[in-house]
Amino acid sequence: MEEYQLRDKVAIVTGGSRGIGRAVVLALARQGAYCAFTYSSHREAAETLAAEVREVGRRALPIRLDVRDFDGAKAMIEQVKSEFGRLDILVNNAGITRDRSLMGMSREDWGDVIDTDLTGVFNTTRACIITFLKQKSGQIVNVSSVSGIRPMAGQVNYAAAKAGVIGFTKSLAKEVAPYNIRVNAVAPGFIETDMTSQLGEKFREKAVEQIPLGRFGTAEEVAQSVLFLLSDTSHYITGQVLQVDGGLGM
Active site residues: 158
Interacting residues with ligand NAP between 192 and 221 (CB under 6 A):
193-196
Establish if 133 lies at the interface with ligand NAP (CB under 6 A): no
Using the minimum distance from each CB to ligand NAP, give the nearer residue, 1 or 153.
153
Interface size with ligand NAP, residues (CB under 6 A):
33
Establish if 223 lies at the interface with ligand NAP (CB under 6 A): no
Among 6, 10, 12, 15, binds ligand NAP (CB under 6 A): 15
Interacting residues with ligand NAP between 56 and 85 (CB under 6 A):
65-68
Interacting residues with ligand NAP between 22 and 61 (CB under 6 A):
38-42, 45
DSSP-based three-state secondary structure for 236? coil
What's the rounded Cα separation, in Å, for the pair 6 and 28? 7
Establish if 191 lies at the interface with ligand NAP (CB under 6 A): yes
Establish if 142 lies at the interface with ligand NAP (CB under 6 A): no
Nearest to 25 by CA among 66, 54, 64, 68: 54
Residue 191: beta bridge partners? 217
Instruction: Tell me the per-residue interface mask from 143 to 182 with ligand NAP, x by CB under 6 A, - otherwise.
Output: x-x-------------------------------------
Establish if 118 lies at the interface with ligand NAP (CB under 6 A): no
Among 9, 18, 30, 182, binds ligand NAP (CB under 6 A): 18
Residues in touch with ligand NAP (CB under 6 A):
14-21, 38-42, 45, 65-68, 93-96, 116-117, 143, 145, 188, 190-191, 193-196
